[in-house]
Amino acid sequence: MLTLDKQKNRHYHKYIENMRKKGTAMMSLAKEYIKRLREREQGLFPEPLKESALTETDILEIERGLGYALPEQYREFLQSWQLPEWAFTVYVTFCGDYPNCFWKTYSREKGGYIPSEFGDTVTVDLVWYGSYGNCAADYLGLLKRQAGEMTAWLEAGFIQLGAYYMEDYFLFYDLAWGNVRGIHNEDIYEVEDRDGPAAVRAFMEREAVLIFPDFNTFLRFACLGEPYDEEEMIFRGTDQNSKS
């Protein structure tokens, strides 16, 4: 049975799809979320939002360079707004099992991590590696530099989206399945670049934890700051006295 949150998400996405089929002009989810991020974290965007310079030709070139067709949600994101930097920090909130696992929570008031009381929520820093570049060559070059000695991950179809909780955990976007997985930065070295992309994919599908079912769920999480239950993969209300 779908939860109320999942029903709302499904109805909203159906509404978006129907409007697009009718040719109705409307802002994409990616644009909407990033616009709200700018409103929420104005310090990240010293200048007005600018349209992405990536064209359909660039997208096709990126797909050829990666060897994977880009999921529609990620294509939409790449062609939305230009992000301020290739890496920047946002603060996000988990309300699933992480509050029972992380011994520190981030305090905006204190400007750093403080001991966690193991409550219903935990706030962490997310260093987000966004899209950056004015053409396909810029974007592909950035991805390859970012991958460094982990090129097999890129060849296996995993784009690193960022790192969270003092960079103890990595987030990867899976181009093959369109979901987002997390893994501890020590566990990831159980497989090496020299093992090749097939071994990396088998390892990631076996060991990395599924956190977001699709890219737009990650984008909503990163941009809006809503409490997210990573176990149930749904957003909760701001009142955390009840987890139902």
Instruction: Grade residue 243 by pLDDT with cuts at 50, 70 and 90.
Output: very low
Report pLDDT for 67.
Answer: 97
**170 has a pLDDT exceeding 70:** yes
Arithmetic mean of pLDDT, 59-70: 97
Return all residues near 122 (Cβ < 8 A) that are at least 6 apart.
Answer: 93, 94, 95, 98, 99, 102, 105, 116
pLDDT, tens digit, for every residue of 189-201?
Answer: 899 989 999 999 9
Instruction: Report how far Cα 191 is from the mean position of its chain's Cα atoms.
Output: 23
> Residue 18: pLDDT above 80?
no
> What is the model's pLDDT at position 8?
42
Report the range of poorest mean pLDDT among 100-104, 145-149, 165-169, 234-238. 234-238
Model confidence, pTM: 0.85
* Domains present along the chain, CATH in parentheses: 28-235 (3.40.1580.10)
Q: Measured between alpha carbons, how far is 28 from 30 in angstroms, rounded to an integer?
A: 5
For the beta carbon of residue 177, count every other beta carbon within 10 angstroms.
Answer: 14
Residue 14: the pLDDT is 52
Local confidence band at 237 (pLDDT 50, 70, 90 cut-offs): confident
Any idea which residue has 């990666």 for tokens? 66
List phi, psi (to 5°) of 135.
-160, 175
pLDDT higher than threshold 70 for residue 241 = no
